[in-house]
Structure 1
Amino acid sequence: MMSLRTRKPTGKTPWPFILVEGGEKTGKSWAMAELTASDRIGRAFWLDLGEGAADEYAAIPGADYEVIEHNGTYRDIYDQLTEVRTIAAKAAEAGELPVALLIDSMTAEWELLKDWVSERARESKYAKKLLRDDPNAEIKPAMNLWNDAAERHGRLMRLLMTFPGIVVVTARGKEVAALDNQGKPIPGSKDYKVEGHKNLAFDASAWVRLSRDTAPRVIGVRSVHAGIRPGVDKPVPAPSFTLEWLIFDVLKCHPTTAKPREYVQLTPDQAQEAGPVQENSSAAPLPVADRARAAVGRQTARPITEEDEQRANVMRATIERADVNREELQAVWKAAGDLPQALANDIRAMATDRSKTVGTAA
């Protein structure tokens, strides 16, 4: 029988992961460069992704940082950040001033991954066939390609969220037309969007918005010291905002007590979930439905093979036929269940959407 494992919480403030977002020319990069002039941080490393501002902002009085060189690929960018993480960990162990990692911007990071998805989609056998007939054909990436991009982004975010020092990233933000449940614009209504991966603001421990028209605003922080109550207090204007003020005065981050955020990556243990219950186990057996779902999970979590892609392409061709009928769409929907889950979801979504044009749901 497994024993319970617990520990007392430390109450220590973790190193911050700060998102600074806003419209164009609002001072996002300036704020990062200004932070490097602080005598409360040690070495600072600037990763420029699609902005080209790293060299220019070194002219700000007191700014002191090193520009990370890379060749523009995800692999090289990630490897460079891993090296910075190693330097930051050694500085923390030695009791030195905290290392600061500055990334400008995460909008470009997600654009890089989106381009990777599009390129891979156009290289599939199905896409090449379409493009031979129509070089301007629209190619919709399969869900498994988006899952791969999300995994790469998640890998980078785990590095940033557990970084043993200060992390500040920028992103572009702007007002966009609000959409209803059917994806249609709502007249006279606006939403605000941070441009980047949809979970970027969730993962940051502090979120700041800069504007050309109003004072900087602290949208939200994960802190017991800030005193901002979600749903009660409005975003806090900060006319004298600096990142140094936010990190050390508001978040109360102290180099001698701060620690990396505790983060345990969750991994599915489906084999154990669906395994037989031992006779001497005091635990109740899983419900039949749960065991069936776990068994299905094991079956569909297998890697996608070339044969799977070929079968999926045949199904896509059937779905996109001009004369496809209800029975054929239903057959494709059912047959997709034999594919790995990511492909099955993609094929079934296509079949369901296509069915709307023939008047009957798949």
Structure 2
Amino acid sequence: MNAPAGNAKPPAVKLKTRKPTGVVPWPLLLIEGEEGAGKTYSAAQFSGSELIGQMYWIDLDEGSADEYAAIEGANYEIIDHDGTYRDILEQVEAVHAEARRAAAAGEPPVVLTIDSGSALWRMLTNWTYERGRRSRKNRALLQEDPDAAYDIGRNLWNDANERWNRIIYLLRTLPGIAIVLARGKQVSATDDNGQPIPNRNEWKVSAQKDLGFDSTCWIRMKRNADPQVIKVRSLRIRVEERKPLTLRDFSIEDLVFNKLGCSVQSQPRIMPALVGDLVQPWLNRIAGLNDKEQLAALWRSVPDPANRLSREEIATVRAAAEQRAAELDNPRREMGEGPLSDAEKLRAAADRKAAEQDADAEQ
């Protein structure tokens, strides 16, 4: 693969602006609270609203989606999934695409309910602990003492948070209404070392710690008490610090369309995904290529100033293309066959060289 000639200068950067619309965007609602407080009931009841389109329901380890369809007027579709993160993510992506289609057609908003965010985060937490147990260091430790405390690397928690954030990003940018139900309860307060603080309690939401911040409106529900708005991002209603707003005769329909002021003209918050560089889309393209000529063409096209890649990013993308080409030359062996030996690699290289010479001779 040869680098293209010339030292083209990158195009001048132009200022990009737009006028604010003033339109109230569709919300991401967090509804959390005690068991039996009415969280699931309120979401199922909302599915019968004449102001919304189709509601899709993802039941994650809660098991109440079928039963709550018996509520008068309830009208939602349960999304089937196999329990894996990948399938759940793909189904959320599918709902996102359908919501985008409905919004473009001027139809009432699509609604996605996830019951619950607590179950989703618990799944990712269990996945992180299992990965920690499988590390070489921890396997050796647990083999010696099965009850030993073991450390989980920060990189594993970063992976769990990244998976969580991929779904939250889709919910925040959904061209419709997103509802996340979660468990919340009173627990003993703990210090920085995780030790209980005597005679001090605090309320804890059973989910990833940033869920409350990521939500547009955070509602807490307790048995035998009116729901409260803990936090809201809105110009129409205000919640003072440490003074939750009590909602009497609460319904999600009233909250969304009256108190928050959403309408069919609402739009998702305009939030492009934040990325540290422009490399990842290129790496995704490279991983999907199985033709060396296409890889070579991509390798040559990378330095084009229109791609806006830095010198370091160009080097990274080209290295990935070269690595992918090498993988096509030396495909991975089937399970059980073991890695290619040095002799096999040399033999394969010699065969490729001979094939190239034969091709040159024919021309």
Q: Secondary structure at the match of 1:42?
A: coil
In 2 relative to 1, CA 110–223 (structure 1 residues): closer, same or farther, beyond 3 Å?
Answer: same
Residue equivalent to 2:127: 116
Residue equivalent to 2:260: 251
Residue equivalent to 2:247: 238
Structural mapping, 1:261-280, within 5 Å: 261-269=269-277
Residue equivalent to 1:75: 86
1:217 to 215, 223, 228: 228
Alpha-carbon distance, 1:185 to partner = 2.8
Structure 2: gaps of 5 or more residues:
1-11, 280-311, 313-363
Residue equivalent to 2:42: 31
Alpha-carbon distance, 1:236 to partner = 1.5
Number of residues of Structure 1 aligned to a counterpart in Structure 2: 272
Alpha-carbon distance, 1:8 to partner = 1.7
Q: Secondary structure at the match of 1:171?
A: strand
Distance (whole Å) between structure 1 residues aligned to residue 243 and residue 146 of structure 2: 51
Alpha-carbon distance, 1:177 to partner = 1.6
In structure 2, what residue type is equivalent to 1:81? V
Residue equivalent to 1:149: 160
Distance (whole Å) between structure 1 residues aligned to residue 258 and residue 221 of structure 2: 19
1:272-309 per-residue CA deviation (whole Å, 9 max, x = no partner) reads xxxxxxxxxxxxxxxxxxxxxxx9xxxxxxxxxxxxxx
Residue equivalent to 1:17: 28
2:202 to 191, 203, 206: 191
Q: Secondary structure at the match of 1:156?
A: helix
1:260 to 254, 257, 268: 268
1:125 aligns with 2:136: yes
Q: Secondary structure at the match of 1:116?
A: helix
In structure 2, what residue type is equivalent to 1:65? Y
1:88 aligns with 2:128: no
Alpha-carbon distance, 1:22 to partner = 0.2
Residue equivalent to 2:69: 58
Alpha-carbon distance, 1:267 to partner = 2.0
Residue equivalent to 1:107: 118
Distance (whole Å) between structure 2 residues aligned to residue 4 and residue 96 of structure 1: 34
Alpha-carbon distance, 1:182 to partner = 4.5
In 2 relative to 1, CA 180–268 (structure 1 residues): closer, same or farther, beyond 3 Å?
Answer: same
In 2 relative to 1, CA 194–69 (structure 1 residues): closer, same or farther, beyond 3 Å?
Answer: same
1:87-137 per-residue CA deviation (whole Å, 9 max, x = no partner) reads 111111111111110110000110000111111111112222122222232
Structure 1: gaps of 5 or more residues:
272-294, 296-362
Check the 8 A contact 2:32/2:219 in 1, yes or no: yes
Alpha-carbon distance, 1:29 to partner = 0.4
Q: Secondary structure at the match of 1:108?
A: helix
Higher alpha-carbon Rg: 2
In 2 relative to 1, CA 180–115 (structure 1 residues): closer, same or farther, beyond 3 Å?
Answer: closer
In structure 2, what residue type is equivalent to 1:125? R
Check the 8 A contact 2:229/2:239 in 1, yes or no: no
Distance (whole Å) between structure 1 residues aligned to residue 61 and residue 134 of structure 2: 25
Identity of aligned residues (%): 46
Aligned-CA RMSD value: 2.2
Check the 8 A contact 2:232/2:239 in 1, yes or no: no
Distance (whole Å) between structure 2 residues aligned to residue 214 and residue 187 of structure 1: 27
Distance (whole Å) between structure 1 residues aligned to residue 149 and residue 194 of structure 2: 20
TM-score normalised per structure 2: 0.71
In 2 relative to 1, CA 170–225 (structure 1 residues): closer, same or farther, beyond 3 Å?
Answer: same
Alpha-carbon distance, 1:225 to partner = 1.3
Alpha-carbon distance, 1:25 to partner = 0.9
In 2 relative to 1, CA 120–168 (structure 1 residues): closer, same or farther, beyond 3 Å?
Answer: same
TM-score normalised per structure 1: 0.71
Q: Secondary structure at the match of 1:33?
A: helix
